[in-house]
Amino acid sequence: MKNLINFLLCLALPACLIGQSKVDASISFASFQDQGKGYVEVYLHVLGPSVGLAPLDGTNGQSKLDIVILFMQGDNVIKFDKYRLSGPITEKPIDFVDMKRYALDNGEYQLEVSVEDMVNPGSAKKFRSSMKVDYQPNGLAISDVELLASVKNVDTSAAPNPMAKGNFIFEPMPTNFYSKNDELLLFYFEVYNTDKAIAEDYLQTIYIDNADTKDVEEKIGASNKRKQPTPVDAAVQKMDIKSLRTGNYNLVIEIRNRNKDLLAKRSMPFQRSNPYLEITEAKISSGEVSLNDEFVGKMSEEELVYALKAILMQVDKADGEHVKYIISERNANAMRMYLFSYWAKENHNNPEAQYNAYMKIAKQVDVSFANGFGFGFETDRGYVFLKYGAPNNTAFEENDPSAPPYEIWYYNQFPKTKQNNVKFLFYNPSLTTNGHVLLHSTARGENNNPRWEIDLYKDAPNEIQGNDFIDGTQMQSNTGRHARQLWEGFKPDQ
């Protein structure tokens, strides 16, 4: 099983940290197999600002670390490595990663890694952890699981990279802890000798198990793949963890034969923090969730009012009344609580990013449809644009006889109400800038006006089709009168 050691996590494990230093780094490792022999990859992740920079010129500097790696069995040193690690040449400290590979015979080992900052020497930091290598030349096996921060596809033929496997460069996770902002569990593993040990198609199952409920195997997000036998099957996989609650988990990989007999299994523990998954205003007001360090904590009263008005079209009637009330009261705390809880429900991993993406559009809508009577997104067109998105097509008319300027928005698909071919007709009876109001729509829940054509052409009351002032819904055809044609999707003759 791959282990990850982080200085902060090690505070609970006194044996894994020796000495004191300002160096902030983490060590992780994973074992793999190559042609029947085991090897171990040791990953070092250094927090740039925690180490010194030796000046190279008037602008740039470079960190220098002395690294010592020991593989021990009892008091015997089985493998030893010492090297000087130079960080990137940089103007300001940045994080960097290093990786080393070591061939090892099967057995149990103590891994000890020492890291010392040579720019600020005198205090080495050491890590210790136990590990095991167990691979048989023809035996079915699953490698350790390497948790990844990123994967990049590059051409390494010209400039080989020690972090590469094939044409991929893997950046390992510095810890096995996933914060509230993390949305994906990205990982790499290998399966060996299915051609010899199984020699037929087999089933590979990957799932997440809740380690806090030890008596129940939950198999969260389980995926099953039928695989063909090969000497080595290398895989990069990802799993969505946006909805994974705060807790301790195991990432599990299983190999089963056609009879679903379990042949091999590998698990990787990780921790998940997801405090905003079930955020409520009650939790915020009780102090269970603090907003001091969140994006809403830095917003002024004016910014809060603007942001809340920008989401009014997205909430139901009851919430809308609540939002209007807290805006009228100018209660900054209440506005912060509602705004944050709303965006945390929309994206409990990164509510600020969701808020920023939405407000970027809201501000554009505000500018586009501003009419001097409130914000642009409070107009009918702004409301529809923010609530339903941009239309697939539009038609504009400013010279239709007996009708004020009007426009029709067409939506091919309408997920909000699960409709197709939805239309909105806006007209501008006041003839003011951006004075368009919604006259008629086929969207469920919006203004549906069967007499829209009569109202649009109210300046021609004697031209109602059938001359019916009570039940008439359409106008007589007339030169230049295009509303019905445009509504039905036909372009009028020019």
CB 100 within 8 A of CB 42: yes
C-alpha distance across the termini of the chain, in Å: 74
Measure the CA–CA gap between 417 and 450, rounded to whole angstroms: 20
Average pLDDT, the chain: 86
Residue 123, token pair as written in the block: 């205090």
Tally of CA atoms within 13 A in the half-sphere of 268 that contains its CB? 29
Per-residue pLDDT tens over the stretch 361-390: 999 999 999 988 889 999 999 999 999 999
Question: How would you class 463 by CB atoms within 10 Å of its CB: exposed for 0-12, middle for 13-18, buried for 19 or more?
Answer: middle
Question: In this predicted structure, what is the pLDDT of residue 468?
Answer: 55
**CB-CB contact of 313 with 383 (8 Å):** yes
Pick from 257, 253, 262: which is nearest to 202 by CA?
A: 257
Task: Specify the pTM.
Answer: 0.65
Q: What is the pLDDT of residues 289-336, one digit of tens each?
A: 678 888 999 999 999 999 999 999 999 888 899 999 999 999 898 899
Sheet with 25-34, side-by-side order of all strands: 3-6, 25-34, 37-46, 96-103
Please list, in sequence order, all residues whose beta carbon lies within 8 angstroms of the beta carbon of residue 166, skipping any fewer than 6 positions away: 156, 234
Which ranges in 310-402 belong to alpha helices (H)?
Answer: 317-329, 332-346, 351-369, 380-388
Cα atoms in the 13 Å half-sphere on the side-chain side of 396: 2
Write out pLDDT tens, residues 140-172.
Answer: 999 999 999 998 887 766 666 777 777 788 889
The torsion angles phi and psi of 324, rounded to 5 degrees, stand at: -60, -40
Q: Please report the beta strands in 35-142, taking only residues with DSSP state E, as ranges in sequence order.
A: 37-46, 54-55, 61-62, 64-73, 76-86, 96-103, 107-117, 125-133, 141-142
Angle of the 317-329 helix axis to the 301-309 helix axis, nearest 10: 160
Taking residue 235's Cβ as centre, other Cβ atoms within 10 Å add up to 14
Residue at token pair 């586009």: 368
**pLDDT tens for each residue of the chain, 494 residues long:** 344 433 333 322 222 333 334 788 899 999 999 988 999 999 999 999 989 999 998 899 999 999 999 999 999 999 999 999 999 999 998 999 999 999 999 999 999 999 999 998 877 788 999 999 999 988 999 999 999 999 888 776 666 677 777 778 888 998 899 988 888 999 999 999 999 999 899 999 999 999 888 766 778 899 999 999 999 999 999 999 988 988 899 999 999 999 999 999 999 999 998 877 766 666 666 666 678 888 999 999 999 999 999 999 999 888 899 999 999 999 898 899 899 989 988 888 888 999 999 999 999 999 999 988 889 999 999 999 999 999 999 999 888 878 899 999 999 989 888 999 999 999 999 999 999 999 999 999 999 998 888 888 887 666 666 655 555 656 566 666 778 888 887 544 43
Match domain 1-135 to its CATH number in 2.60.40.10, 3.40.50.11540, 3.40.50.11810, 3.50.50.60: 2.60.40.10
Residue 174 pLDDT: 86
Domain ranges of the chain: 1-135, 281-366, 391-487
Residue 29's DSSP bridge partners are 3, 42
How far apart (Å, rounded) are the C-alpha atoms in residues 276 and 290? 11
Edge-first strand listing for the sheet containing 393-397: 393-397, 406-414, 419-427, 437-441
